[in-house]
Structure 1
Amino acid sequence: MNPLSVRDILGGRAPKDAPVTVRGWVRTRRDSKAGISFIHLSDGSSFHPVQVVAPNTLPNYANEVQRLTAGCAVEATGTIVPSPAKGQPFEMQASAVRVVGWVEDPDHYPIQPKPHSLEFLRDVAHLRPRTNVIAAATRVRHTVAQAIHRFFHEHGFFWVNTPIITAADAEGAGALFRVSTLDLANLPRTPEGRVDFAQDFFGRETFLTVSGQLNVEAYCLALTKVYTFGPTFRAENSNTSRHLAEFWMIEPEIAFAALSDNADLAEALLKFVFKALLEERPEDMAFFDERIEKGIVAKLQGIVQSE
């Protein structure tokens, strides 16, 4: 039986009156006095988890289901029915719950059902994708990247993969990260006492790219409409939100175009991406609007609807 995603289940795309399987990680488990456990299960496909209703008639109810804690990996099989609970359209009435993986030390499992600071999450980077903020940011970034590629494809642009390791300084005004295989404790020297980069891997100084623009401009003069979208690196030692050591940058280039053509393209791209984001990730954006930046949804809607 092919498993369904939580997003498909909550979106009403599960078959009716037929057993389905869902796999994911436990967010919370609550037991009722009536001998029923309510397990919130997330697989990352949706902001909201799906509720799995597990009765005490399951053969492993006492020795496994009631021992489930946050972070346990579970496979649940059952029937999807409308949920009487507020805030969730559907839930699963489980006929089987199989534990795929346990959390060895539940008392010290760091990702609990409560808000965590970003500083704290940096110390548990291997588990932070299970939090609302990181999972939502990942889904939003995916949607934005897909929309960017879709926009340029529909407008006749070609995507150019420019080098990440390069000998060129495309900006000429900033610090670069050097790429080298030389032994820093025993650097080769020229007769003048300088580092002999001729003995390095590429036979010359090389760096992580600060921009793909120089390369993509050459392609523009052959393919007319091109763009690069990939990682760039800046070595400015500045600890602000406006100076990142690594980020992804979009750089379109158009031949035979005026400044107004570039401005129109930039506006159309932003509206296209924001519209896709609002339509495809409403729950994630609602979360950001509530917890990260008040009014961001209205702001993006205003841009999309502007003339």
Structure 2
Amino acid sequence: MGPLQIKDILQTSPESQSVTLKGWVRTKRESKNAIFIALNDGSTIHNIQAVAEPGQFSDELLGQVTTGSCLKIEGQLIESLGSGQAVEVKISDIQVYGTADPDVYPLQPKKHSLEFLREIAHLRPRTNTFSAILRIRHALAFAVHKYYNDNGFFYLHTPVITASDAEGAGEMFRVTTLDLNKLPRTEEGAINFKEDFFGREANLTVSGQLEGELGAMALSKIYTFGPTFRAENSNTTRHLAEFWMIEPEMAFYELEDNMDLAEDFVKNVITYALDNCKDDLNFLQNRLAEEEKNKPQNERQIPLLEKLSFVVDNPFERLTYTEAIDILLKSKPHKEKKFQYPVGWGIDLSSEHERYLVEKHFKKPVILTNYPKEIKSFYMKLDDDGKTVRAMDVLFPGIGEIIGGSQREEDYEKLLGRVHEVGIDPQNLWWYLETRKFGTAPHSGFGLGFERLVLFVTGMSNIRDVIPFPRYPKSAEF
């Protein structure tokens, strides 16, 4: 299983036993009486201090022990005489695996901007901030799989390459093997995709939902958790071109069941992070508080742990879109024209509207339901009024919508009508429509962008900082 990690060694009772450390140097400092090396291997936010005596090692060897160099240290685990740590290692031997020239190594022990760190994404996991984010990201991913496995769901691998557009957005990355310098043409001059690898147009998927519904019609409860892609030319702090989606689909679930699952799910995975990532969350909370110091009081965020408890400890308020619009129309910000975007029935709510409902009006997470059909996707089940659909959006503090879902339309004729209404060629979705002919059933599902969840749990402000190697317009360096 390899050597003990620093996380385990820090929790070991010191009895002058022999230990081996392997990791990267965070800092080295020298005094008249000792040489102190702070080592970290990524297993924890905390460094372990290793101590050597002056003259114990050659100047040549110690000259290679710089910030960023990788070492193997052997020594004795003893009780620490300094404050801030319970144990330290009295060094008996140092082996340098790899050096890091301090004149060129970019991660020196000082504050670096997040923008700068994006330019060196190959090294930023070595910082405290990004190692904490990546450990929390792992914990959340594990919690997702554990939750669905424990609740009788099956993990379904839906295709990354698809000929359908689940969202109807059209902003997709094309997959092709055609020679772009010698594109085959039809007699009419259009590109002849029959000559392409798949014999038709193909793209990277924007969602695994449609294929997920097919799985639910056989296995009852499935979930997908995989990469999705959108070729949206957006440079906002909330959008990526490549991101991960969690999409459960459940046969025999109606809208109320769907809401129950969404609330229980997000509470469960956030609780897992609170229980298992305490040190990292405390570090990120302190980091956020430091950044907030210079902001006006009314612009400061809720402390991170308080925000997470806000979600876990409160029952989610449930109301219809129409009820929410009425609340917004009667609100003080609307009457005083402080909302940036107008309010009226039929609008697609903006983040400021969603956050007002969560943070100011109800002071708890909110689930909105029954949206106008014009602002929702074709596959959502029509309400009896013919104007709204059985959609549901889960709204969180600081972020607005974090989950979007619905009861799916199981009636063949109604679904076909909506396909025609939004201008989709039914032939492109014949397989999806056909499930409504053969043993159709009420069913529901939702989607959660994983990076949105990590963004919320870590308290970071830019989604590019919660995925190891972000993809966005004009950026695919790493």
Q: Identity of paired residues, percent?
A: 51
Deviation of the 1:61 alpha carbon: 3.9
SS at match of 2:206: coil
- Name the CA distance, whole Å, in 2 between partners of 1:270 and 1:279: 14
Residue in structure 2 matched with residue 49 of structure 1 by the alignment: 47
Aligned to 2:120: 124
Asked if structure 2 preserves the Cα contact closer than 8 Å seen for 1:54 and 1:97, the reply is no
Indicate the SS of the match to 1:107. coil
Distance across 2 between alignment mates of 1:14 and 1:91: 11
Which is higher, the Rg of structure 1 or of structure 2?
2
Aligned partner of 1:6 in structure 2 is 6
Q: Where does the alignment leave 5 or more consecutive residues of structure 1 unmatched?
A: none
Does the Cα contact within 8 Å between 1:17 and 1:79 map onto a contact in 2? yes
Instruction: Give CA-to-partner distance per residue, 1:81-126, whole Å, 9 cap, x none.
Output: 22232222221111111111112x3112100112211211122222
Other structure's SS at 1:219 match: helix
Distance in 2 between residues matched to 1:107 and 1:45, nearest whole Å: 27
The 5 Å alignment of 1:260-299 reads: 260-292=256-288, 295-299=303-307
Instruction: Note closer, same or farther for the CA distance 1:306–1:180 as it changes in structure 2 (3 Å cut).
Output: same
Shift of 1:306: 2.7
Tell me, in whole angstroms, the C-alpha distance in 2 between the residues paired with 1:181 and 1:15. Answer: 61
Indicate how the Cα distance of structure 1 residues 294 and 109 shifts in structure 2: closer, same or farther if over 3 A, else same: farther
**Whole-angstrom distance in 2 between the partners of 1:31 and 1:193:** 74
Query: Which amino acid is the alignment partner of residue 77 of structure 2?
Result: I
**Could you state the TM-score of these two structures normalised by the residue count of structure 2?**
0.61
- How many residue pairs match? The answer is 303
Q: Structure 1 residues 14 and 193 mapped into 2: Cα distance closer, same or farther (>3 Å)?
A: farther
Comparing 296-305 and 200-209, the one that deviates more:
296-305
Q: Which residue of 1 aligns with 2:32?
A: 33
Letter matched to residue 87 of structure 1? G
Q: Which of 79-88 and 179-188 deviates more?
A: 79-88
What CA deviation, in whole Å up to 9, does each residue of 1:60-96 have, x standing for no partner? 3432125411110100111222223222222111111
Q: Is the CA contact (8 Å cut-off) linking 2:205 and 2:228 kept in structure 1?
A: yes
Aligned residue among 148, 167, 173 for 1:171: 167
Q: Distance in 2 between matches of 1:282 and 1:294?
A: 17
**Distance in 2, Cα, partners of 1:237 & 1:202:** 27
For the residues of structure 2 that align with 1:243 and 1:130, how far apart are their CA atoms?
24
Give the match's secondary structure for 1:264: helix
Asked if the contact 2:143/2:269 (under 8 Å) is kept, the reply is: yes
2:158 paired with 1:154: no
Please state how far the C-alpha of 1:142 moved relative to its aligned partner: 0.4
Q: Specify which structure has the bigger relative contact order, considering alpha-carbon pairs within 8 angstroms and separated by 6 or more residues.
A: 2
Whether 2:246 is the aligned partner of 1:250: answer: yes
**2:314 equivalent to 1:306:** yes
* Superposition deviation, residue 2 in structure 1: 4.4
Task: Tell me how far 1:14 sits from its aligned partner.
Answer: 6.4
Shift of 1:204: 1.2
Cα offset, 1:294, TM superposition: 5.3
| Match status 1:90 vs 2:87 | yes
Listed as ranges, the gaps of 5+ residues in structure 2 are 289-300, 316-478
Decide whether aligned partners of structure 1 residues 183 and 15 sit closer, same or farther in structure 2, where only a CA change above 3 A counts: farther
Amino acid at match of 2:95: R
Alpha-carbon separation, structure 2, partners of 1:47 and 1:119: 22
Q: 1:15 to 1:202 in 2, by over 3 A?
A: farther
Code of the residue aligned with 1:147 in structure 2: it is: A
Which one of 233, 243, 262 corresponds to residue 229 of structure 2? 233
The answer for the alignment partner of 1:79 in structure 2 is: 76
Contact 1:65 1:97 in 2 (8 A): no
Q: CA deviation at 1:15?
A: 7.2
Structure 1 residue ranges (4+ consecutive) displaced by more than 3 angstroms after TM superposition: 13-17
1:239-279 deviation per Cα after TM superposition (whole angstroms, max 9, x unaligned): 11232211111111111112111111111111111111111
Q: Deviations over 1:10-33 (max 9, x none)?
A: 2x1367432111100101000111
